[in-house]
Amino acid sequence: MALREIVKFPDPRLKEVSKPITEVDDTLRELARDMIDVMYDEPGIGLAAPQVGASIRMFVIDTEWSDEEVRRNPVVVLNPEISDPEDKIIWEEGCLSVPDYSANVERDAKITLRGIDLDGNPIEEHAEGLRAVCIQHEVDHLDGILFIDRISRLKRGLYVKKRKKQLLDEED
Ligand code: NI
């Protein structure tokens, strides 16, 4: 089965604010399964629905898996909400929708994540470090925000230039 293609910067769909999910049906479950496949294939540790072109509030995350270990624990979160931010942390972030780039971003060091799973059961997770960073990064996607929107204008400008050149080169 072909994997879904990742939407990449500067695709305007990445700037949309995604809609809350009101019903879990088979189409949504299939999308979640596809997103998990894409995340492991890339590989990545998180993927938000807008990154595969679906403007809905859902993301998948697995911050602990590795190629060497079989153990995988993908968590699918619908309608996520972040609360109880504590302390700050700076982490070097990358994104499957922002090719060939990474930069330091300041985030909340500890957060609480609430949402629902695909069975409609509530999710509540207290996260810190990489896990907290990743959750904030994915929720940003649902609000049309990329990590390059959280770095200096100068750094962002340099990346945009590099990316435009990369896209021109691809056309040749
Ligand atoms: Ni991302």
CATH classification code of 12-171: 3.90.45.10
Render pLDDT for 6-36 as a digit per residue (tens, 0 to 9): 999 999 999 999 999 999 999 999 999 999 9
Query: 81 alpha carbon to ligand 1 midpoint, in Å?
Result: 17
Model confidence at 121, pLDDT cuts 50, 70, 90, reads very high
Q: pTM of the entire structure?
A: 0.95
Question: Is 138 a catalytic site residue?
Answer: yes
CA separation for the pair 65, 126 (Å, rounded): 19
Task: Find residue 93's DSSP bridge partners.
Answer: 103
pLDDT of residue 70: 65
Please give the sequence-ordered ranges of beta strands (E in DSSP) within the chain, or none if there are none: 46-48, 58-61, 75-95, 98-116, 122-128
CA separation for the pair 153, 158 (Å, rounded): 9
Catalytic residue, from 86, 92, 125, 138: name it: 138
Render pLDDT for 65-115 as a digit per residue (tens, 0 to 9): 766 666 789 999 999 999 999 999 999 999 999 999 999 999 999 999 999
Domain limits, the chain:
12-171
Query: 103 alpha carbon to ligand 1 midpoint, in Å?
Result: 12
In one-letter notation, the amino acid at residue 155 is: K
Query: 142 alpha carbon to ligand 1 midpoint, in Å?
Result: 10
Residue 84: HSE in the Cβ half-sphere, 13 Å Cα cutoff: 11
